[in-house]
Amino acid sequence: MIKKISLLIILFIMLILFIQMQFDLKGYLNYFSHEYFLSHTYKDTASSNIVTGIYLDYRLFDSIFEASILLIVVSGIVYMTTKEGEENERVFIFEKVKISNLLTILSRVLYPFMLMFGVYIIIHGHLSPGGGFQGGAILATAVLITYYIDPDKITKFSLIIFLEKLLFISILIISSLSLLTKNVLFTNFIPNQTSNTYRSIFLILLNLLIGIKVSLGLVSIFSSFLKEGRS
Amino acid sequence: MEYIPLYLIFIPIISSMIIYLFNLRIINYLIFITQATISVLMIKYFLFINKNPQFASITIGGWDKRIGIELKNDVYSIAFIFLTIFIWTIVSIYCFDKRKNDAKFLFFLLFLEGAFLALLQTNDLFNLFVLIEIISIISTILIIFKKDGFAVRAGLYYLLFNSIGSIFYLLGMIIIYNIFGTLNIDVIKHHIHLIDNDLIIHAAFILMMSAIGVKSALFPVFTWLPKAHGAAPSSISALLSGLIVKSGLYVMIKVDHLFNLYTFKEYFFILGFFSAIIGILFALSQKDIKQILAYHTISQIGIILMGLSTINQITFYGGLYHIINHALFKSLLFLGAGMIIRTYNIRRVTEIRGVFKTMPLTSIFIIVGMLSITGAPFFNGFISKSLIVHGLKEQTFIYFLFFIINIGTATSFIKFSQIFFGKSKLKGQATINEKIALFILSIACITLGLHFNYFNQYLFHVESPVVILDLYNIMTYFITIIIGFILYQTIIKKDYLVFKKIRHMHITFETTNYLLVLYIFTMILWSFKAL
Amino acid sequence: MNPILSFIIILIGIYGICTSKHIIKSIVCFNLIQTGTILLFLNLGYSEEGHIPIIGEQIEKIVDPIPQALMITTIVIGSTITALALILSIKIFHYYGSLYWKVVFDREG
């Protein structure tokens, strides 16, 4: 009881301090980045969407590690859920549960649209809101909707892991290609003089690879959960 | 040439991927090729940087410093990189016999090395956060590698508590970003004195420091460390205790230099003292061989913190030097403990007997580690402890506190040394690789103890002006050992009720979080002193 | 939205994590703190007259794009940590038959 009351008091003090600090902060806010990105991004990165420009060019190094986090967690989860010697034969079969016909038919109708929407979000990442990570999540949902359509569907698990690692390596290779053309690492490899339409090929390519990687990762996490829940 | 920092990060990562993808026994030897390559590259880079210091920082992608991510090397990071590569090589030699068919283990091990090297070099606040998270996730997976219940619960505790801690870092970073509009540490450092509002600066500092306190297991929030380090495989415990815990201290040096606040120096000095004392108290009560070593990590981190949070320059370098020394002797002790546990199959100090008979060579190496940690003359622990003490000699009270910590450490290791005596019929099962790893580490301990001046000049570019090996310090050490021996015979050996209580004390997860909130709150109260 | 509201979400999460005795509840509270942090960052970068950060015609002022780019990363990190924590708690349930911190840690071995 004492613990809870003291905790509430402490949190209340923190709240008051935060409100005070937030009012103070208003006088110090710095708008450097707003102006910089508005005037430079399109010229620098060929991306209309500034957010995409930031995470695929200015801060590409961060995004590589972000993709690697997903890869590590997927390998960790797969390691946790496999038993010894099971690794290679491991497949995931969705359990047959009673699914109403309505849901199945609706899923069949939705499936292509969801795939298409996911790919759209990924490919238009540099023009409109979206990008690899968001589109990848949508793609993963679309793949998982097959759970309702065809419960007997079998996918090889080791293949997904293999593909994911391969995609990560190709992301690394594509982003370091600029060492050959521009002599700097981790930026757009297409020279600055070419028109912006060509330069955005780099953005589309990376967004696509990241999107596929994210969706594969999410699918394998989800199916590990399915398997673990049943055992 | 100037891209070597990036190669250092990505060579281990790519080779870890290759090892995982091929999953072949021959490919697994790639780990040694990787270690050799990055060692050579690092030596080349070190010589290069010494000649052309302007190349010490690169901005990735060639953007403006304020927008892109910058990698920067200074004296601290270069020393840490050498240490990292060295410890990783030792650990991979040590565990290769056991793990040569285990591509997954090697994958995580090498990936962790890449991420750790990136953490040491990055000069960007958000990048630092991402790397801290990657390191805690991979450490979790390595802790639970045995997949037994003991390890899994420790892993979950570690993962959740560390992630909660690092969110506070993110909160501090948000405040900093909104004031300066950039995430580059150098640019922020350049402008931070222009902000005259103490409340904002202190809030950001407190939030960041609370995350760092969790990461480096300071006094109220250390409970995750013995659990995680006790449950992990021995080679991983060595890595965690030797290096990963130091990532918190490294970030702390960075953040401390960034804010340059003098208000909190005393606070962290007191906190360091409490960590040291509490760690020793717990270590004295434990009987599990790995738990004893894990609690000693807490106490040693306390000593390092005491060194780092003083204004005195020599004491500061003493703390820095102690980080390196602690990494060496603690990994030596953990690796040795792993061999003992494997031979005897029990972990209780009171039941293991006759190690000196079964494994004479290993015991000599472990004794070297013990001498180092207690601060015996001619070993590396002695040097750094003397450097720390040197700056404090004028303040008698603090010197006395330090003396108490030393006595505690000595007592605890006299308790530890009971495993060497007695008889045992078991046969030692140490492989040649493990012996080589321990041998290199003990040689390093002795070399750093004898030729510390050379290392200090070469790595940190400082002269240590003190005559350390004087009779006074040597006498102090022997007095410490004698008092420790008496204490052990009279008090610790009897196993009084107090120690039993401490041994069985369990702090639950919610209480740990409550302690974290209290830790933040005490910092807030302390900061009112300055306002 | 107001930064203060998002800070209140963080505080609720902290209160929850200091009092909940169940592993799943702790994970939920962790997510709450994370969400609050993300909202706080986005709110501080928001301004009334700012447009979305996509370059088009006649845009003079945008909201801060950096928080948005950084928060994608934070969301991915948060979700992966949640996934790992959940799989570990499933494992813990298999070993110990309970999901209360106290019960799990009181067992020996």
Over the stretch B476-488, which tens digit does the pLDDT of each residue have? 888 888 888 888 8
Pick from B325, B178, B314, B308: nearest CA to B255: B308
A61 contact residues in B (CB cutoff 8 A)? 60-61, 69, 127
Kindly determine whether residue A77 and residue C59, on different chains, have CB atoms separated by under 8 Å.
no
A66: containing domain: 31-227
Closest-CA distance, C62 to chain B, in angstroms, reads 14
Closest-CA distance, B221 to chain C, in angstroms, reads 13
- Domain range C3-108, CATH architecture: Orthogonal Bundle (1.10)
User: CA–CA separation, B23 vs B25, rounded Å?
Assistant: 7
Kindly determine whether residue A10 and residue B517, on different chains, have CB atoms separated by under 8 Å.
yes
Closest-CA distance, C51 to chain B, in angstroms, reads 18
User: CA–CA separation, C40 vs C30, rounded Å?
Assistant: 15
Chain B residue closest in CA terms to A168: B17
The set of chains that have 3 or more CB pairs under 8 A with A is B, C
Kindly determine whether residue A182 and residue B62, on different chains, have CB atoms separated by under 8 Å.
yes
- Does residue A10 fall inside a structural domain? no
As for the ipTM of the complex, it is 0.95
Closest-CA distance, C25 to chain A, in angstroms, reads 17
pLDDT at B207: 92
For helices B313-344 and B75-99, give the axis angle rounded to 10 degrees.
Answer: 0
A129 contact residues in C (CB cutoff 8 A)? 52, 54
Provide the token pair at B42.
């690092």
> pTM for the whole thing?
0.93
Q: Is the dihedral of CA A37, A42, A48, A52 positive or negative?
A: negative
Q: How many A-B residue pairs are in contact by the CB < 8 A criterion?
A: 131
pLDDT at A91: 54
- Does residue A61 fall inside a structural domain? yes
Going by pLDDT thresholds of 50, 70 and 90, the confidence category of residue C48 is confident
- Does residue A4 fall inside a structural domain? no
Which one of C55, C66, C80 has the shortest CB-CB distance to A33? C66
Which one of C54, C84, C88 has the shortest CB-CB distance to A49? C54
Closest-CA distance, A152 to chain B, in angstroms, reads 28
User: CA–CA separation, B19 vs B131, rounded Å?
Assistant: 22
Pick from C84, B10, B349, B350: nearest CA to A71: C84
What's the count of helices (H) and strands (E) in chain B, helices before strands? 23, 2
Which residue matches tokens 């750790």?
B116
Going by pLDDT thresholds of 50, 70 and 90, the confidence category of residue C59 is confident
Asked if A154 and A92 count as a contact pair (C-beta separation under 8 A), the reply is yes
With H, G, I as helix, E, B as strand and everything else as coil, classify residue A92: strand
B132 contact residues in A (CB cutoff 8 A)? none
Asked if B11 and B110 count as a contact pair (C-beta separation under 8 A), the reply is no
Closest-CA distance, C22 to chain A, in angstroms, reads 17
Kindly determine whether residue C105 and residue B130, on different chains, have CB atoms separated by under 8 Å.
no
Kindly determine whether residue B61 and residue A29, on different chains, have CB atoms separated by under 8 Å.
no
How many of the other CB atoms lie within 10 Å of CB of B383? 30
What does the pLDDT average to over B371-375? 87
What does the pLDDT average to over C18-36? 93
Pick from B425, B508, B442, B433: nearest CA to B91: B433
State how far the alpha carbon of B113 is from the alpha carbons of B122, B134, B458, in Å: 14, 11, 24
φ/ψ bin of B352: left (φ > 0), alpha (ψ from -120 to 50), beta (otherwise) = beta
Pick from B185, A210, B111, B176: nearest CA to C72: A210
Going by pLDDT thresholds of 50, 70 and 90, the confidence category of residue B230 is confident
Closest-CA distance, C98 to chain B, in angstroms, reads 12
Provide the token pair at B317.
């370098």
User: CA–CA separation, A83 vs A224, rounded Å?
Assistant: 12
> Which 8-state DSSP code applies to residue B262?
S
pLDDT at A196: 83
Asked if A155 and A94 count as a contact pair (C-beta separation under 8 A), the reply is no
Q: For chain A, which residues score pLDDT lower than 70?
A: 84-98, 151-155, 229-231
Domain boundaries, chain C: 3-108
A37 contact residues in C (CB cutoff 8 A)? 53, 62, 65-66
pLDDT at B163: 93
User: CA–CA separation, B457 vs B447, rounded Å?
Assistant: 15
Going by pLDDT thresholds of 50, 70 and 90, the confidence category of residue B173 is very high
| B461 Cβ contact partners less than 8 Å away, ≥ 6 residues apart | B75
Residue B174 has pLDDT above 80, yes or no: yes
Q: How many A-C residue pairs are in contact by the CB < 8 A criterion?
A: 108
When computed from its CA atoms, the radius of gyration of chain B, rounded to whole angstroms, is 22
Asked if B514 and A3 count as a contact pair (C-beta separation under 8 A), the reply is yes
Going by pLDDT thresholds of 50, 70 and 90, the confidence category of residue B119 is very high
Which residues does residue B122 pair with via DSSP β-bridges, in sequence order?
Answer: B71
pLDDT at B137: 94
Residue B453 has pLDDT above 90, yes or no: no
Kindly determine whether residue A79 and residue B104, on different chains, have CB atoms separated by under 8 Å.
yes
Which one of C89, C96, C105 has the shortest CB-CB distance to B508? C105
Q: Higher confidence at residue B395 or residue B199?
A: B199
Residues 56 through 85 of chain C touching chain A, CB cutoff 8 Å: 56, 59-66, 68-70, 72-73, 76-77, 80-81, 83-84
Number of domains in chain A: 1
A202 contact residues in B (CB cutoff 8 A)? none
